[in-house]
């Protein structure tokens, strides 16, 4: 058995059109997986990269701010590839405001995408994995704010803390069923979600001073962790949060 070989596997990756999702999708494809990319916009760059590696690719247009697309995401993946072996819950949004001024809309919007839809998509995929009878791998994309409080991102912190808890709960329930549920906790990465943060010179200076690696992460930096958690190499790893943070938490 090749520990990190994903040949013949199918992976659903949400939010795969840019940033961390794109990096994860490419890494899984490099290891041999076919990719179902789920998102609101066409993942043209991701598709080009995956197909250049000789892997199959299907784009599934879905707005994960509501429950509507969940059944369709699964149906379209099965129609394209016959089943699903890996789910990467990467799609997420962030809203910034002082806690004293935070609105209900900014609370609900983030919680719906980052926690509610993530849970119910995971539930649907797990039912399919159990029906297939060969187990599966579920990888949630958590955050440094699964460990810490942050500032001005109340609903994001709540959602990512909740996702850490859900990761452990699902691992408790599904480990004996052959489904591994784990999470990657990215540190500070150069993506769309951190654009406002990187534009703030003071915050950027403070962040950089605390990262032992001395740089922001790039989406490709998540590839190894994603392949590990998606492969046979992690068969006895359940309910863990794996930080990929340049040493941020060690500081």
Residue 161 within a domain = yes
- Is 1 among the domain residues? no
pLDDT tens digits for range 196-205: 788 888 888 9
| Whole-structure pTM value | 0.96
Q: Which of 236, 34, 15 is nearest to 135 (CA)?
A: 236
The whole-number average pLDDT for the span 57-74 is: 97
Q: Is residue 59 part of a domain?
A: yes
Instruction: Name the average pLDDT for the chain.
Output: 96
Which tens digit of pLDDT belongs to each residue from 130-179? 999 999 999 999 999 999 999 999 999 999 999 999 999 999 999 999 99
Is 2 a domain residue?
no
Catalytic residues, which ones? 156
Query: What confidence category does residue 75 fall into, taking pLDDT thresholds of 50, 70 and 90?
Result: very high
The arithmetic mean of pLDDT across residues 88-105, rounded, is: 97
pLDDT digits (tens, 9 = 90+) for 13-23: 999 998 999 99
Evaluate whether residue 20 is within a structural domain: yes
Predicted confidence band of residue 248 (pLDDT cuts 50, 70, 90): very high
Specify if 233 maps to a domain. Answer: yes
Position 204 in a domain = yes
Does a structural domain hold residue 3? no
Q: Identify the domain containing residue 133 by its residue range.
A: 10-250
Domain count, the chain: 1
Q: Which residue has the higher pLDDT, 7 or 194?
A: 7
Query: Domain with 84 in it: what CATH number?
Result: 3.40.50.720
């Amino acid at each position: 058995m090749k520990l990190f070989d994903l040949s013949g596997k199918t992976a659903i990756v949400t939010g795969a059109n840019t940033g961390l999702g794109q990096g994860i999708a490419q890494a899984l494809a490099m290891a041999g997986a076919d990719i179902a990319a789920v998102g609101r916009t066409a993942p043209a760059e991701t598709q080009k990269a995956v197909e250049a590696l000789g892997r199959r690719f299907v784009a599934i247009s879905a707005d994960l701010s509501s429950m509507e697309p969940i059944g369709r995401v699964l149906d379209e993946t099965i129609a394209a590839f016959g089943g699903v072996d890996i789910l990467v819950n990467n799609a997420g949004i962030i809203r910034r405001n002082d806690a004293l001024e935070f609105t209900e809309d900014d609370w609900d919007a983030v919680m719906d995408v980052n926690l509610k839809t993530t849970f119910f998509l995971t539930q649907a995929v797990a039912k399919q994995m159990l029906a297939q009878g060969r187990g599966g791998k579920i990888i949630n994309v958590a955050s440094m704010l699964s460990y810490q409080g942050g500032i001005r991102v109340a609903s994001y912190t709540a959602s990512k803390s909740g996702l850490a808890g859900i990761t452990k709960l699902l691992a408790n329930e599904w480990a004996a069923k052959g489904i591994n549920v784990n999470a990657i906790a990215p540190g500070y990465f150069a993506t769309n979600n951190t654009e406002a943060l990187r534009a703030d010179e003071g915050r950027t200076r403070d962040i950089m001073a605390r990262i032992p690696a001395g740089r922001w992460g790039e989406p490709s930096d998540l590839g190894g962790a994603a392949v590990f958690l998606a492969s046979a190499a992690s068969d006895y790893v359940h309910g863990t949060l794996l930080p990929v943070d340049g040493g941020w938490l060690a500081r």
